[in-house]
Structures are given as C-alpha cells and as structure tokens.
Structure 1
Amino acid sequence: MGYHHLALAARDMKAIHEFYEGVMGFELVKVEIGPSPEGGWAKHFFYRMEDDSKFIAFWEMHDMPGTENFETNLSKAAGVPDHINHISFDVKDRADLERRRQRWLDAGLDVLEIDHNWCHSVYTKDPNGNFVEFCLTTGSFSDADREEALRALTAEKPAFSKPPTNIQFHKPAAA
C-alpha cells in the first residue's frame, strides 16, 4: 500500500505550478474548488507523479480565517531544522536520479547529493521552502538491520550509523 496524495498549503500557486510541473515534471491533472467549512474558499490542485494513484496536491486558500500569515515550510512551522521534514520521491534507477539532478541544475537550483550507503539521494528546495528529494534505494535490508532498528527504539545512547559514503554540493552552471 502506498499513499494516494500528500496535500500542502501554498502561498504562491504560480511558483508551485512552475516548479512541480515545469521542473519536477509532474502533470497538473485536477482541481477541486469549493467553500471551506471554516469560511472562505479554496482551490485544491492535484499533480500526477507517476500514474492516477499517486499525486502531490496543493491548497490555494482564499478568505479563510486564520490563514493570513501561514508558514509553508513544514520544518520552519514545526520549529525544527529544514532537513527534518522533507518530501522524498522515488526514482526507478541511477539514470533517472542523474536526469532529475541535472533537471534541477538546469532550472538554476542548488542540489545536495548524498550517498547514504543504502540509498542515494538528491535534494533541493521547492517554492514553499521545503526540501524535496529524489531517492534511489541501492541496498537491501537484512534481519540484522531490523534488529538494530528495533533496539534503537528504546536505546538511550545508540551507536551512530556509518556516515554517508559521499556528500556533494552542486551549483547550477549559471551560478
């Protein structure tokens, strides 16, 4: 089972659309428009990520009480460092990961690349200020991995994981 959609508030829907359709390559396929139970109204935009069962969606709110100064960055709203709350999308293979990294760079975005030893990721920020990630699983999981994870649930001072194999910061060519 996977999730159907992730829904987030947006302050600048034009910038969100340019990023998620133009840069990420997700297709805007549906909008729902209607009143809000709290007052005001909203547009709910759905971007197809892969097929008609996987979407990322954004709310554009109008005249809704209490939404005048809302924070769109999930981590900032929660009071934690930016990398804590992030959105991670899967890729099918290494070539797809490299293509996604290059697409971000071509769009003028900074990219962080990390080989986590069991997955390989590239990160940038969306117009809401949220870290977005494309991630390729490169390893497999053993019974020992599960046992370690279960022990970590209650460990007061667990051993640190092996550090990433490689961390790179990529700047766009125009920078």
Structure 2
Amino acid sequence: MSDKPFELGGVNHLALVCRDMAATVAFYEGVLGMPLIKTIELPFDLGQHFFFDCGGGDSLAFFWFPDAEEPQEGISGPGCRPDRGRLTSAIGSMNHVAFQVPPEKLEEYQAKLRAAGVETSEIANHDDSEYGLSEAWTEDTFVRSLYFQDPDGILLEFAAWTRGFGPGDTTHVPKGAVRPAP
C-alpha cells in the first residue's frame, strides 16, 4: 500500500489553445515529429480538439475555438523566449512546455530546428550559481535547455536532466503571496 493519496502515472495531456489547427499540426507533427493520435470535432461548432504523442506515454493537446481571444504577452504566457525578454506570465497561465530530451542531443536538435526555420535560443546550462546559468556544461549543471516558440508564440523547451537530485536540491523556503488575492 502506498502512502501517496493518488496513483499518478505522469501527465496524460496538457491542453493548449491554438489560432490555426492546420499550422499547429504542421509544426508539431511535421517539424517536431509528434504523431497526431486523436482528433475530435467539438459539438455545436465549438471547434476542434487534437492530441499529439509527445513521448513517454504523455500527450500534448490543442483546442481550436473559432472565437478564441488573442494572446496577451505577459498574461496568457511570456510571449517570448527567456533570452529575448521577461519570462513572467499571469497567475493561472501556462508559462511554457518542456519536453524531455537526451542531454547529448541538444546541439543536434538546435541545428534541426534552425534548419526547419525555427528560431531558437542558445543552449542554456542551468546550475545553482548566482544567475542560474553557466557557459559550459559542468558537473554543477542540473538541466540543459533549448527554448523556441510554436506558430502561436507558445514558449517551448527541450530540457535534459543531467544529474540526479538529492536533499541539497530542495533548500529554498516557499514564498507566499506578495499581494492579497481579490
């Protein structure tokens, strides 16, 4: 018997909203190679809901609503890569999606994305230094990242864990709300 209250097996799917389902399919299936595994026409002409296999038994899904509002930078998401501006987005927003990749493949994947016309960040080596980044992949690097955006400006990341975690990796005290909730 487990002492966990729920038997979670990972992320079934994360559902986002797109402007153009055809462009979304072309990017996620055509550029990133995620197979389209399920399509749904929503009743009453509400739109569509499509699912992509993003590996590891997980799915990434998209809704297309004909009357969806346009995104608002800094509210619905950051609106840019972290190397181009602020990473901040609103409470309850989806900031970015990170896909697990092998650490030694990041340079290759960066070249493939760029060859497909997708602008990317440089590869970031995240560590516990003052600014959280190092120029080189060292033994202190815990994750390597490559950032890019989809056709709707959704921030995506190829992320690669580079070491295991231990008790020293959870030393920060959680902070509370700076301003009271409405």
TM-score, length-scaled by structure 2? 0.68
User: What's the counterpart of residue 161 of structure 2?
Assistant: 137
Deviation of 1:79 (Å):
7.0
User: What's the counterpart of residue 14 of structure 1?
Assistant: 22
Q: Residues 106, 79 of structure 1: CA spacing in aligned structure 2 closer, same or farther, 3 A cutoff?
A: closer
User: What's the counterpart of residue 107 of structure 1?
Assistant: 116
Structure 2 gap ranges (5+): 1-8, 81-86, 89-94, 128-141, 177-182
**Would you say the 8 A contact 2:79–2:154 is kept in 1?**
no
Higher helix share: 1
Q: Residues 81, 32 of structure 1: CA spacing in aligned structure 2 closer, same or farther, 3 A cutoff?
A: closer
Q: Secondary structure at the match of 1:127?
A: coil
Find the aligned partners of 1:86 and 1:116 in 2 and give their Cα distance: 16
1:35-56 per-residue CA deviation (whole Å, 9 max, x = no partner) reads 16xxx422111111125x3111
**Would you say the 8 A contact 1:44–1:58 is kept in 2?**
yes
User: What's the counterpart of residue 23 of structure 1?
Assistant: 31
- Specify which of 61, 70, 79 is matched with residue 65 of structure 2: 61
Deviation of 1:80 (Å):
5.1
Identity %: 31
Structure 1 segments (4+ residues) deviating >6 Å: none
Deviation of 1:81 (Å):
6.2
User: What's the counterpart of residue 88 of structure 1?
Assistant: 98
User: What's the counterpart of residue 128 of structure 1?
Assistant: 152
- Equivalent pairs counted in the alignment come to 142
1:112-168 per-residue CA deviation (whole Å, 9 max, x = no partner) reads 12111210000111111011000000122221222x13x2x149xxxxxxxxxxxxx
1:61-119 per-residue CA deviation (whole Å, 9 max, x = no partner) reads 24xxxx35x1346x544375643411110013412x33321221111122112111210
User: What's the counterpart of residue 173 of structure 1?
Assistant: none
Structure 1 residue identity aligned to 2:125: D
Q: CA RMSD in A?
A: 2.4
Q: Secondary structure at the match of 2:55?
A: coil
TM-score, length-scaled by structure 1? 0.71
Find the aligned partners of 2:175 and 2:107 in 1 and give their Cα distance: 38
1:41 aligns with 2:46: yes
Q: Residues 80, 93 of structure 1: CA spacing in aligned structure 2 closer, same or farther, 3 A cutoff?
A: closer
Find the aligned partners of 2:77 and 2:143 in 1 and give their Cα distance: 27
Structure 1 gap ranges (5+): 156-175
Higher relative contact order (Cα pairs below 8 Å, separated by 6+ residues): 1
Structure 2 residue identity aligned to 1:142: G
